Amino acid sequence: MSEQLTTVDTAKKLGILPEEFEKIKEKLGRVPNFTELCAYSGMWSEHCSYKNSIKWLKTLPKEGPHMLAKAGEENAGLVAIGDGLACCFKIESHNHPSAIEPYQGAATGVGGINRDIFTMGARPIAQLNSLRFGNIHSDRTKWIMKGVVKGIGNYGNSFGIPTVGGEVFFDDAFEQNPLVNAMSVGIVKEGQTISATSYGVGNPIYIVGSATGKDGIGGAAFASGDLSEDSAKDLPAVQVGDPFQEKLLLEASLEVIASGAVVGMQDMGAAGIICSTAEMSAKGEHGMKIYLDKVPTRQSGMQPYELLLSESQERMLVVVKKGQEAIIEKIFDKWDLPCANIGEVTAGELLKFSFNGEPVAELYAEHLVLGGGAPQYEREYKEPAYYAEAKKFDPDHIQQPKNYQEVAQFLISHPNIASKRWVYNQYDSMVGTINMSTNQPSDAAIVNLKDSEKALAVTVDCNSRYVQADPEIGTMIAVSEAARNIICSGGVPSAITNCLNFGNPYNPEAYWQFVGAIKGMSTACLKFATPVTGGNVSFYNQSKVGDKVVPVFPTPTIGMLGIVENKKHQTGLGFKNTGDKIYLVGKITNDIASSEYVYSYIGNKNTPAPYFNLDEEYELHQAIKNSIRKGLVISVHDVSDGGISIALLESSFVNNKGFSIATAKDLRKDAYLFGEGQGRAIISVSTSHAPELEKMFAASNTNCICIGEVTNGNILVDGENWGNIDDFETNYLTSIEEKLN
């Protein structure tokens, strides 16, 4: 090798621990050169190796009746959905890039997750996102939010895939470190997927798509460290996206897969060429010989390590069947995309990289990858002091409000509850004409499967405040709410993908939150038979401001896929007919813990997670599912943020109706109206179907109480006139826009 050998100090600068540097020398049988050490830096980063999480991730349930690819086997999860079709879906984070360059950080997150879908041969048909921002009144939050939303909208709209759902959450904990989680859903015929693998000695290796530049170099390592006041210096680590190029790449990729000339394909995301070559080779148990000087570049003078680690967007690595090169080249030429033969598959598992005829790196693929030679750790964890303190919360010490209507107006205007119209109006939700939720809003997005009686139900869910209060229960709630949203929309939960956003894994309290979340997710997923198909771990979501380290609320975002087995089962959340009966189903509790009411209106920031019982939740889901299938219900809406009052208002907004209800006399009125105890939903039914609904829920042993009826638009609570629904809807629709402008 012609390059200078490295030292432990060089390794430290690249984010490699001293003990890891020793392990690298042991595996190589020599001291690595700089290019080789850079390769290890990318591949052994937290972002690529999951070295501090993999042992716990292995405990998640991965078996299920619909599973076609287990977690970690492919770029994305794959489940059978019937009619010979499969659904490919995944969620990933782009948090750190979005913190320092919101527009490109978010845009390239959308691009990357879509590539994970179509590299498997699936056509993306729907996108969702889960966003966390700081205080909406701060200039920094406004800057980040506007950039992120514009980036998602511009990239997704130009790429031509509808954004059908998502969530937006605000808290001071995300002021410096926003969370930007993007999800993509695609469809493919069973048996027509392609794997991210490499085999067949002599098979040529192509890099296709955009030319390689210096954008994104070190992005994986950048995502594997804390944000600080100096993070802006890492701006070159943020990639630059081109959605129009990605659209061409999508069509060309699907065409070359259909040609039968492809052995394997993988997108170039984190750690770029080194990641794609290593992972494909390790999976196929072969090696590669790569000529880095043949990689098309858009900047002159790029060094070997830059070519290996660049995270330039809209690129793929394709292993082609020898003798069929002309087929591939013709297709990519048709789509006007660069397509360069940069190497070949070799026997053994050694990756050999050369530049201008000189060898620059020789590495064993297996040594580099997750599940192979990459390190695996289990970090120390301990319960934080705030957790025990929260358990001391006594709702009796909270004085009830004098004006309940005022509280309802406060909550409906709160940015965590108010309409996200300002956000979703920037997304194209109708391109492709597959969004069935536009004219009938529901708790989950319903995506049409053309030429099938079935549809997909998809959702992203996590209440970060609940997980902060109790990671295990909070994560069980996140899974349960996702399942509840799908059930309430007429679907049946099938599987999940997750995006695990946490603080520094070397912080025992942050790692305690992570471990608790994994335990809670496992328990809930087993209950609902929703195996984990894969996802993303994002640690180091904390930032240093002066001498203070500020972690985000732990946020294990759940992306859930459900199947609407017959489109007739699709159920909206909106009240439709004056005089229909309104039922509250599920257990009613005297609970206000971790509610938006207590947290934001009262100002108590440290309370336990809200009431939750997994068995009761499951029974509720079955009862709702059966009532939908029997055609008894007109609308179903789950009770979540803001409690019953907000669920009623949101159900009223859809068709400009109102409601007249009576609260329970034996409960605190604020708990009844604003508490966020889990496992509940609001159902509206015609008077004629009410007796049968009550009978069905009684048989399921699930609480079902008629609390009132739908009105023409007036709102009455215990006989008190709260005004007209229009008064609430105006505040609901305009609150976020007014705060941002």
Q: Letter for the amino acid at 159?
A: F
d(CA 174, CA 465): 12
Tokens of 177: 């470190």
CB 606 within 8 A of CB 393: yes
> Distances from the Cα of 190 to the Cαs of 81, 167, 187, 230, 661, in angstroms?
9, 31, 9, 48, 49
The whole-number pLDDT of residue 544 equals 75
- Encoding tokens for residue 647? 């669920």
Amino acid sitting at position 595: S
Angle at CA of residue 524, ends 519 and 530, nearest 5°: 115
Partners of 127 in beta bridges: 163, 184
Exposure of 416 in the CB half-sphere (CA atoms within 13 A): 24
d(CA 437, CA 453): 16
List, in order, residues 6 or more apart from 217 with CB less than 8 Å away: 236, 237, 306, 309, 310, 311
CA of 268: how far to CAs of 216, 276, 599, in Å?
A: 11, 6, 42
pLDDT digits (tens, 9 = 90+) for 104-158: 999 999 999 999 999 999 999 999 999 999 999 999 999 999 999 999 999 999 9
The answer to whether the CB of 628 falls within 8 A of the CB of 569 is yes
Distance in angstroms (rounded) separating the CA atoms of residues 398 and 184:
43
Mark the ranges of the chain whose per-residue pLDDT is less than 70.
1-3, 216, 218-239
289 within 8 A of 203, measured Cβ to Cβ: no
Q: What residue type is assigned to position 638 of the chain?
A: D
Three-state SS string across 681-739, please? EEEEECHHHHHHHHHHHHHCCCCEEEEEEEECCEEEECCEEEEEHHHHHHHHHHHHHHH
Q: Outline where DSSP puts E strands in 17-162.
A: 67-69, 77-82, 85-93, 123-133
Angle at 229 between CA 106 and CA 174, to 5 degrees: 50
What is the structure's pLDDT at 163?
A: 95
Q: Do 280 and 264 meet the contact criterion of CB atoms below 8 Å apart?
A: yes
Are the C-beta atoms of 684 and 678 separated by less than 8 Å? Answer: no
Quick count: other Cβ atoms within 10 Å of Cβ 31? 14
Backbone φ/ψ region at 395: left (φ over 0), alpha (ψ -120 to 50), beta: alpha
Q: Quick: pLDDT tens for 436-486.
A: 888 899 999 999 998 899 999 999 999 999 999 999 999 999 999 999 999
Let me know if 96 is a catalytic residue: no
Crossing angle, helix 243-259 and helix 325-334, to 10 degrees?
A: 150
Active-site pick, 66, 94, 367, 569: 94
β partners of residue 351: 288, 363
Q: Residues 708, 722: contact at Cβ < 8 Å? A: no
Tokens of 138: 């701060």
Which of the following is catalytic: 47, 286, 414, 637? 47
Distance CA 536, CA 557 (A): 10
At residue 4, the pLDDT reads 74
Question: Model-level pTM?
Answer: 0.95
For this structure, is 621 an active site residue? Answer: no
Give the pLDDT of residue 64. Answer: 84
∠ CA(691), CA(692), CA(694), 5° rounding?
A: 65
Q: Taking Cα atoms as reference points, which of 298, 288, 418, 430 lies closest to residue 366?
A: 288
- State the Cα angle at 721 between 719 and 724, rounded to 5°: 135
